Structure 1
Amino acid sequence: MIPISLSMEGFLSYKERVEIDFTSFALACITGENGAGKSSILDGITWALFGRARKHDETVINLESKKAEVCLVFHYEGNQYKIVRSNPQGKTKQVELYIMDDKADKSTAVWIPLTERTLRDTDLKIIDILRLDYESFTNASFLLQGGADQFTQQNPASRKRILSQILGLEIWEDYRNQALQKRRYADKDLNQLDGRISEIIAELGERDQRLKYLEDMEEELSRAQEERKKSEKQLANLQALVSSLHEQEKLIAASVSQVEGKEKSIALTQKKINQRISEKEVYEGALSLADAIRESFKNWEKAQKSLADWEVVADKYRESEIKRQKPLLQITAEKARLLQISSSLETRFKDLQTKLDKIPQLKAHLKEGNEKIKKNEADLETRELKKKSLEDARQEQADAKAENPRLYKEMKELEKRIAKLEITEGALCPLCGQKLSPAERESLVQNLKEDGKDLGDRYRQNQSTLKEADQVVKDLQLQITELSLVEKTLRDLRQEIDQIENQITNLEKENKSWGKNHQKELDGIRKTLADETYASEARQELVVINQDLKDIGYDAAEHDRVREVSSQGVTIQEKKAGLDKAEAALKPLNREIEDLVSQLAIDEAELTRLNGNLKNARQSLDKTKETTPDTRSAEDALNECKEHEKVLERKVGAAQQKVTVLEKQKQRQEELENKRQEISQRVKQYRQLEAAFGKDGVPALLIEQALPNIEAKANQILDKLSGGGMSIQFLTLREYKDTKREDLRETLEIQIRDQSGFRDYELYSGGESFRINFAIRLALSHVLAQRAGAKLQTLVVDEGFGSQDAVGRQRLIEAINMVQDDFEKILVITHVEQIKEAFATQLLVEKTPRGSRVTLV
């Protein structure tokens, strides 16, 4: 991983956007005062890659910013990547991953998104690209403050895990899992094949049983076929007898039809006789009323003549009645008009009275509204004073808010400086590197604590002021808001008062107008309606027409009586015609009745003969049926034989199929046996691969190969750092505490040898322990930079120069120069002058009121 550029905004001490270009140098020193933001550059790199830094979550956000954002562009394994990670305050963190399109025009960068659906998935994607997580990356590439011993302080198992991941050996675990998965699939296939082969063997063992079953079924089928043929023959004989019976039944049916026909003929003749007798009785009855019918006919003829005279008189009466309707309609229309005007005026008068009854209530509302207006106007006079008080409170609030972040930063810086002074031993100041006696150290700590107390008192005073100012601002804002509501209420009240005054004025005008214009009109209409003096001309015309109607002398009752008699003319004429018809038809009707009675006697004699013949035929048929068996039982027996035959045919077919399939199953058994042998061989190979890819296989061999190189490089560096006085040795195997065990346990322990022999790592402290840690870490980075796995071509050193004397510092510089050619990029962070002067290129970090700045020197 080779950084190309890094931009930070709102991240730790970098308030405004700062961009660092790494392409112009291979080895550089990052310098600046303590707290300027040197180590924050490294935090920016690890936070962009893994979302982790020395601080977590929202603590990486600059105190004066709402969002932290870091963009890292880097080169890795022939590809160029860009990661943009942001953390908005109080919101969801985001990360974006891109790769540069190597096919696009080189003059314009084209980034292809690689961002996954979730932040976690994108982080895993980045780890997959680098083939390292945060711990492994920093162990191999970063020597951070307080982290030089990060690898040596791990337990042996963690050391092996980190070294394995850095070497890219986790791919062998993937290979092992793939081999394991394929072996499991093969085992599953093997089990399935065993089951199928067992089934086939069991099926082949049934061969004799299946052949015997087939032979039995074929014999039983042959017997069933014979039984079926016998049943068919018996049924054919019975069906011939039944056919003869059907012929007899047809003859009987024909006889029944003759009997029924004759019975219908007799019934029809009897019906005609009854009808003719009824007609004869009617005619005889008509003849008995002959005198009354003739008298009614004469009266009808007389009414017909009188009806014609009354129709003439009725026409004259209707003409006068039509003339009478015109004046009647005029009188009715005028009355309706007057009633409508009267109703409209009375409605208006009632509405007016209802409105006038509300005037006292409106005047009361008017008085109450004026009193409210006076009160609201008095309240509004205090608003300007409250606004002025609000501005003063806000200014006091802003002053306290502006000063407290600065006080908080200064207190934190003092705490760090005091902590360094209290925990650091030696004669050098950990802050500036100058010589410092114990008394001077104690005095300096006391002075710093007093300064911190003053800052804290000022900070707490500001906090108290802020709390009080916040409450004052809230109270004043609430009061001003309430006054704004009062102002709106005042406008509404004034508008309401104007409306009430206009309403009272309009009602008084309307009442005055009514008394002047409409009351007299209403009284006049009421009198005209009571006296019926309206429509006088129409009333005079109606008197004349009424006299004409009286002179015509039309009697509607007599006219109706004559019309009623005339309307009975149809009935009277029908009765007269019926009388004439009865006199003419009575003699022929008597002759027809005599002929029908004679025909009825002949038909009854023929019916008696036909019934005798039918009875004899039925008796003969019944005797024949008694001696003929029922065909249904024979048909059922035949169907049962056929069904049994079909069942046996299916059984024979199934038995033949089971015998035939045995040959195919034998061939299938041979095929499956061959396939099983192939899969068994694959399972054996997969098990060998699992063991080879496991932790005791290829990965263990690779670690064994890498450790000597790391050990040799670490000793080479440590020899230079210690002046040849120290060396290290890695132990990968150790005896178990249980003396009964003859095997050795795997481990990754570190032994250190100096002039007095081997000693435990924990017995070294200060500058010596740092030189050991530095040599191992530098050797680890050097060896890893030469290997395929995780290609870490960047080395960062941010540790330990202040704990070394002049000779030790010079040796550290020489060690860094020793591995310079192994890395594309080396960054060294320090504020020690001797170290800074050893590097030609420097990144100067300065802290300004607008945040940290970086300048290439």
Structure 2
Amino acid sequence: MIPIQLTLKNFLSYCDTTLDFRGLHTACICGSNGAGKSSLLEAITWAIWGESRAPSEDDVIHTGAKEVRVDFIFEANQQTYKVIRTRVRGGSGALEFQIQTPTGFRALTGKGIRATQDLILEHIKLDYDTFINSAYLRQGRADEFMLKRPTERKEILAELLKLNQYDELEERAKELSRQFKARAEELERLLDSLKSQLQQREATAQKQAELEGQINQLQQVQAFENIQLQSLQVVQHQRQNWEQQLSFVRQQYQNLTQDCDRLQQEHSAIDNQLSSLEELLTQEAEIKAGYNQYQILQSQEEAMGAKFEEHTRAQQARQQKQQQLTQQINEIERQLQHAEAQLAALQQQHQELQQTLSKSDEVEAALAQLAAARNRLAQMDQLQLQVAPLLQQRVTLQSQLNRAHAGLMARFEQLQATENQLQRQHRRQPQLQQAVIEVAMQISELEKKRVYLQRVQEKGQERRHLIERLQAHQRDFEKLLGELQQKLQMLQNPNAICPLCERSLDEHHWNRVVDKTKVEYKDAEDELWIVRERMAVSDREIQVLRQEYKEISQQLSPYDSLREQRGQLAAQLEVTSDVEQQLQQIVAEKQHLERSLQINDYAHDTHAELQQLEQYLQQLNYNEQDHALARNEVERWRWAEIRLSQIKDATKRQTQLAARKPEIEAQIAQLQTRIQQETTESECARQIAALERHMTEIGYVSEQHNNLRIAVRKTQAWELRYQQLVGIQQQYPQLKARLQELEVSLQARLTERQRYNLQIESIVQQLEESANPSAQIQTLEQQITSRRRQLDEQIAQLGRLQQQSHQLETLQIQYDQQQQQLQEAKRQHRIYQELSQAFGKNGIQALMIENVLPQLEAETNQLLSRLSANQLHVQFVTQRAGKSAKASKKNAKLIDTLDILIADARGTRAYETYSGGEAFRINFAIRLALAKLLAQRAGAALQLLIVDEGFGTQDAEGCDRLIAAINAIASDFACILTVTHMPHLKEAFQARIEVNKTQSGSQVRLMI
């Protein structure tokens, strides 16, 4: 990634700045502390990755601004890109990604910030962590890598190579291994439980066979008893049939008795009814004569009803026509009323217009007054135009005088307060001198304790280093004891071989080897006891030193506050030395101000200008009250213009009314004529007259109709009696026939009842002769019920045994399945256990480091040869032989490490023995090689290098070496930026980016 242009707007300390990187190869970003040098680098990382040192997203916005924007144009993979990132305070942000084409920049922005960010990473092939660990060389990272222990170096390298993902995979594999192990243990417990349950299958089968035999015996006994019960039930069923037949016959006998009684009652009723009908038949002639009279009257009433209906229809039609005629006449009358109202309105308007026209003379006089008032107002307006700026100027001058007076008063009050304060300070001078002496004495005592505290701290560090060395010795001796213990265990075997030469031992040599090993074991135990004793002593000394360090630190807690207090008191004391002279100056200035305020001896030009202005205003003689009276006079006579307009409108309106009045009068006469014609000659009037003549021709008389209705109602009873007569004539023969039928039926019922009586006597005799088996049946049913209950219990028990047997078969299937699951769980446990080992520190991670280190070593030596003129060479060693003090080389074990061997013309030496310049070159080469390696692993070329290795921590020679090293590797990079705040290093770089902080924000200036 090669920077081309960076534009900042309201980003951190910058308000509006643009920095062009074109033509820059090696440049220095310089400026004072806090000027904003690091903010330029923060702007690049924030624009591309949205990352910065700010704790929250809104903190990157410049103080007082509402939004921030950073535009960054850069080149990557031979393409030019542009990133624009913005954010609104308290709101959301936006991200745009563009690529340069022959016609300009084309948008590559995705749907949302996250999608656009993924596109940026896809094109530049560099994430934020890789960038700050590769392109950005931060202070202390190289030294930290070299000064760490060999095992810690591996951890740092793994962190830079992002091998922590394998740690996560290792933890996941361990977790799955533990889960499958727990699953296997659970399956083993379940299999043990199932195995104990399956052992009951034989006992269950034996019980099932015994129970099936008992059930068969019970079923046979129950079958015999059921046969006996069925024979008894047949006898009982026959007896029940006889009883039912007896009940039926008795019921039939009773029914026949009831029928005979009913028929006898019906015969008596019909006989009585025939007697009453014969009496009514004797009145037949009288009923027929009355019925004929009723029919005649009814026909006359129906004819009169037809006339009534026709008369009613004619009357309704006449009413409808009358309403229609009335509506037409009412419509014409409404038009007539409207025309008359218009005529009356015209007459009223004519009278009003006459009144308006009668005031024309008065309006002409008022117009003359209005013209005179307007002339006077125009003169006053012209005078006001001259006076208004003068009045405004007078107000301005008066304000200036007031401000000058207020300023003098404020200065006077300030001098008064300063005088009081200086007098108080003058009185406090002896107290301040005594306080300074006391604070200085306290600080001197505390500084002595600080020196002693530093000695305690150094002594504690020595003890901690000693404990670390003793712990290393302890581990060595513990390892040696383990090896010797293993040897002794091997020698306990009768056919033991020599642990060193692996040959068979005779008794003499076996004793020598055992004795020698025991002596070595005893010596190692003694040495281990000594080491532990020294560790315990050192621990006690450290505890004492910690307690002493804590007590002295508590005593030193007021040291900083006392130094600050001493500085404040010294500053106050220095200020009080010039108090007397300041008091004299303040008193003199106060007297001068007081005299100027009393005689207005200030702002002489303003006073003079104000006096001239007042004289000119008096000459103009402008009065605001007269101006207001002139305005009022104009307003008072403005009604004349309105009245003049009204007179003109009235004249025009009067002409229109004179032309309109004859039309309305003619319309009124025409409407009156139409009303008379509608009343007598219209179609509705003629139809009404025709309907009235038709009603007269019908000849309907309502009184005659009412008399007929009364006569019909009086003779209506003969109709009912005639209907009764006709019904009796029809009913009399039927009743005669029914009476004969009842006599025949009654005789037949009596005969049948006698037959049923004989059957009842026969059935009773048979029941008395046969025995009743109910008691035997009840006893036998109880026995069968009891045996059935016993059989049901045994069948239920057999069902439980069968179900248990089925469950055992299911358990057997489940047992087999869980056996297979157990084997699968164990297999998965072994697989994930092996995967956890493969993903661990000694697996893939170690293999990847082994593959990376040759590349790192080659890149480091290539850079180091250029920085040291082929005088220095570095070698990375990942394993070394480790053995105890008394173990042979053959039994030595390989220990994982990351040692760095450094060689020069005199041979291979420790890192600590090299000079500062040589050590710096080694550190710089290793750190730069790591940066290139990380960039290559990310899939991007390292074209940009930002060096912040801390010029401030280097001496002059160290700074020169750093600059020389940067220039030596400049050809490998497209752009190198260094950051410093030391002014004397500016000249060492041909191109400089100077950063200065101003009131309007940080500013950038490019010096080439």
TM-score by length of 1: 0.54
CA contact (8 A) 2:256 2:753 kept: no
CA contact (8 A) 2:947 2:979 kept: yes
Q: Which aligned pairs between 1:615-694 and structure 2 lie closer than 5 A?
A: 615-616=764-765, 623-629=772-778, 633=782, 636-637=785-786, 640=789, 643-654=792-803, 656-657=805-806, 678=827, 681-682=830-831, 685=834, 688-689=837-838, 692-693=841-842
How many angstroms apart in 2 are the aligned matches of 1:148 and 1:160? 22
How many angstroms apart in 2 are the aligned matches of 1:631 and 1:128? 103
Q: Which aligned pairs between 1:399-548 and structure 2 lie closer than 5 A?
A: none
CA contact (8 A) 2:8 2:43 kept: no
CA contact (8 A) 1:49 1:126 kept: no
Match of 2:9 in 1: 10
User: In the TM superposition, what is the alpha-carbon distance from 1:292 to its structure 2 partner?
Assistant: 4.7
Q: Which aligned pairs between 1:103-142 and structure 2 lie closer than 5 A?
A: 117=114, 130=126, 133=129, 137-138=131-132, 141-142=135-136
How many angstroms apart in 2 are the aligned matches of 1:710 and 1:641? 97
Distance 1:40 1:573, change over 3 A: closer
Distance 1:323 1:589, change over 3 A: same
Counterpart of 1:817, as a letter, is N
Match of 1:215 among 177, 184, 206: 206
How many angstroms apart in 1 are the aligned matches of 2:763 and 2:858? 131
How many angstroms apart in 1 are the aligned matches of 2:14 and 2:51? 17
Match of 2:722 in 1: 573
CA contact (8 A) 2:15 2:1002 kept: yes
Distance 1:281 1:131, change over 3 A: same
How many angstroms apart in 1 are the aligned matches of 2:152 and 2:786? 88
CA contact (8 A) 1:328 1:542 kept: no
Match of 2:173 in 1: 182
SS in 1 for 2:777: coil
CA contact (8 A) 1:164 1:170 kept: no
Q: Which aligned pairs between 1:689-728 and structure 2 lie closer than 5 A?
A: 689=838, 692-693=841-842
Distance 1:341 1:46, change over 3 A: same
CA contact (8 A) 1:186 1:679 kept: yes
Distance 1:818 1:585, change over 3 A: closer
Match of 1:235 among 215, 226, 229: 226
Distance 1:572 1:809, change over 3 A: closer
User: In the TM superposition, what is the alpha-carbon distance from 1:186 to its structure 2 partner?
Assistant: 1.4
Q: Which aligned pairs between 1:790-829 and structure 2 lie closer than 5 A?
A: 792=942, 794-797=944-947, 811-820=961-970, 823=973, 825-828=975-978
How many angstroms apart in 1 are the aligned matches of 2:263 and 2:70? 121
Match of 2:748 in 1: 599
Q: Which aligned pairs between 1:358-369 and structure 2 lie closer than 5 A?
A: none
Deviations 1:121-147 (A, max 9, x none): 9799899964763xx85465435xxx7
Distance 1:189 1:30, change over 3 A: same
Distance 1:6 1:208, change over 3 A: same
Distance 1:648 1:326, change over 3 A: closer
CA contact (8 A) 2:97 2:120 kept: no
Q: Which aligned pairs between 1:72-221 and structure 2 lie closer than 5 A?
A: 73=74, 75=76, 84-95=84-95, 117=114, 130=126, 133=129, 137-138=131-132, 141-142=135-136, 148=139, 168-169=159-160, 171-205=162-196, 209-221=200-212
CA contact (8 A) 1:321 1:549 kept: no
Distance 1:170 1:9, change over 3 A: same
CA contact (8 A) 1:18 1:854 kept: no
SS in 2 for 1:603: helix
Unaligned runs of 5+ in 1: 350-380, 393-493, 499-504, 526-534, 728-745, 750-760, 762-767
Match of 2:27 in 1: 29
SS in 2 for 1:692: coil
How many angstroms apart in 2 are the aligned matches of 1:688 and 1:314? 123
CA contact (8 A) 1:845 1:852 kept: yes
How many angstroms apart in 1 are the aligned matches of 2:827 and 2:734? 122
TM-score by length of 2: 0.47
Counterpart of 1:93, as a letter, is G
Counterpart of 1:212, as a letter, is A
Distance 1:164 1:47, change over 3 A: farther
User: In the TM superposition, what is the alpha-carbon distance from 1:623 to its structure 2 partner?
Assistant: 2.1
User: In the TM superposition, what is the alpha-carbon distance from 1:301 to its structure 2 partner?
Assistant: 3.2
SS in 2 for 1:629: helix
Distance 1:88 1:536, change over 3 A: closer
User: In the TM superposition, what is the alpha-carbon distance from 1:284 to its structure 2 partner?
Assistant: 0.6
- 151-160 vs 86-95, which moves further: 151-160
User: In the TM superposition, what is the alpha-carbon distance from 1:711 to its structure 2 partner?
Assistant: 10
Match of 1:71 in 2: 72
Aligned-residue RMSD, C-alpha: 7.2
Unaligned runs of 5+ in 2: 341-380, 393-641, 647-652, 676-684, 875-896, 901-911
CA contact (8 A) 2:29 2:979 kept: yes
Distance 1:123 1:57, change over 3 A: farther
SS in 1 for 2:26: strand
SS in 1 for 2:92: coil
How many angstroms apart in 2 are the aligned matches of 1:626 and 1:313? 94
Distance 1:668 1:624, change over 3 A: closer
User: In the TM superposition, what is the alpha-carbon distance from 1:593 to its structure 2 partner?
Assistant: 5.1
User: In the TM superposition, what is the alpha-carbon distance from 1:222 to its structure 2 partner?
Assistant: 2.0
CA contact (8 A) 2:204 2:805 kept: no
- 689-698 vs 778-787, which moves further: 689-698
User: In the TM superposition, what is the alpha-carbon distance from 1:274 to its structure 2 partner?
Assistant: 3.2
CA contact (8 A) 1:300 1:569 kept: yes
Deviations 1:367-423 (A, max 9, x none): xxxxxxxxxxxxxx9xxx9xx99xx9xxxxxxxxxxxxxxxxxxxxxxxxxxxxxxx
User: In the TM superposition, what is the alpha-carbon distance from 1:215 to its structure 2 partner?
Assistant: 1.6
CA contact (8 A) 1:30 1:38 kept: no
CA contact (8 A) 1:175 1:693 kept: no
How many angstroms apart in 2 are the aligned matches of 1:274 and 1:168? 125
CA contact (8 A) 1:317 1:554 kept: no
- 813-822 vs 799-808, which moves further: 799-808
Distance 1:61 1:775, change over 3 A: farther
How many angstroms apart in 2 are the aligned matches of 1:41 and 1:553? 122
CA contact (8 A) 2:948 2:980 kept: yes
User: In the TM superposition, what is the alpha-carbon distance from 1:188 to its structure 2 partner?
Assistant: 1.9
Distance 1:661 1:284, change over 3 A: closer
CA contact (8 A) 2:260 2:749 kept: yes
Match of 1:246 in 2: 237
Match of 2:709 in 1: 560
CA contact (8 A) 2:99 2:106 kept: no
SS in 2 for 1:628: helix
Distance 1:292 1:235, change over 3 A: same
Match of 1:42 in 2: 41
How many angstroms apart in 1 are the aligned matches of 2:301 and 2:808? 119
